[in-house]
Chain A
């Protein structure tokens, strides 16, 4: 019985690490697409820095996952050799960059969640996870500052920039509830003290969104349908294309070293 529970916990930890790691890997890759294309050099550097932070966090989380798994896979195997249905990131992070406002809104929704959740997660009873969370929190706080300041400037900027942000918010809102998606994997890990219920931070998340929206003169979309599925490998049409680009070198030259 005990062994069963332990085995179950182990599997669930691996799954949680992959879900959480995939969020950062896919978001980091999306941000990296701005490299060389951002509106101004300084912002190009900022977005590339944030992309690198995300990919670094993903690397730590996926590495921990394969270590616990113990099947001689590496974090690179997870990143480059899995297919679309095996990716467990939420759909928000795979949405295309579209334009700068869109990218900032996507990032703002995500960063706000990341800061609040990592603050909890740094108290995880799983020491390695707590460590990764504490380190990631510092980075995510800076990411939040960056996306929040841009929300304020674009939202409360010109009529044109306000429209851009509002339309991005309207499009992306349907992906936000998946940030708080939980299933039996979460329930079991919450009981074990390894992770924390996401709904504990939902009120705070909405409070921050509301506050920044009101300062940025952005309207909260009316409650509509929400889209889920990413945590179980169901994705929008965009993830496949992203993976094709992200994985082509690793798949074309297996085991290449550089």
Chain B
């Protein structure tokens, strides 16, 4: 297919995001293989939206996702546990406040 495409070579991977209805965020649902963006959209449509799951699709090359690594999980996420003041439930709502 493409310039690196020998027969049998796997196509590149694309992450798929589906928006269920207007105004909703696009939610990650999985990934597909495709040689380019247009075919990634088509493959995503066939794999993830055949049963009315959504009204809009995004595909992003998987290699463009910058991710944390498992070894980051301690320094990145653990400190949140003992800083309870970072959570809204730490604060009580004063009487008389409406619409919260």
Contacts and interface: CB of A to CB of B under 8 A. Distances in A.
Contacts of A41: 33
B34 interface: yes
A45 interface: yes
Per DSSP, chain A at the interface is helix
A42 B1 contact: no
A45 B46 contact: yes
A123 to B, nearest CB: 27
Interface residues of A, number: 15
A46 B35 contact: no
A57 to B, nearest CB: 16
Contact of A153 (B33, B39, B43, B46): B39
A113 B19 CA distance: 32
A153 B50 contact: no
B56 interface: no
Contacts of B47: 42, 45
Interface residues of B, number: 16
A157 interface: yes
B18 interface: no
Interface centre among B11, B38, B42, B45 (most CB of A within 10 A): B42
Given A49-B46, A49-B50, A42 B38 contact: no
B39 A40 contact: no
B2 to A, nearest CB: 8
Nearest to A47: B46
Nearest to A52: B50
A46 B36 CA distance: 16
Given A153-B1, A157-B1, A40 B33 contact: yes
A149 B1 CA distance: 13
Given A42-B34, A161-B1, A149 B46 contact: no
Interface in A1-55: 40-43, 45-46, 49
A158 B43 CA distance: 22
Interface string B1-20: 10001000001000000000
A202 interface: no
A149 B40 CA distance: 12
Interface string A121-164: 00000000000000000000010011001000100011001000
A149 B38 contact: yes
Given A42-B32, A153-B35, A145 B46 contact: no
Contacts of B43: 42-43, 45-46
11 contacts: A42-B32, A43-B43, A46-B42, A49-B46, A142-B45, A149-B39, A153-B35, A153-B36, A153-B39, A157-B1, A158-B5
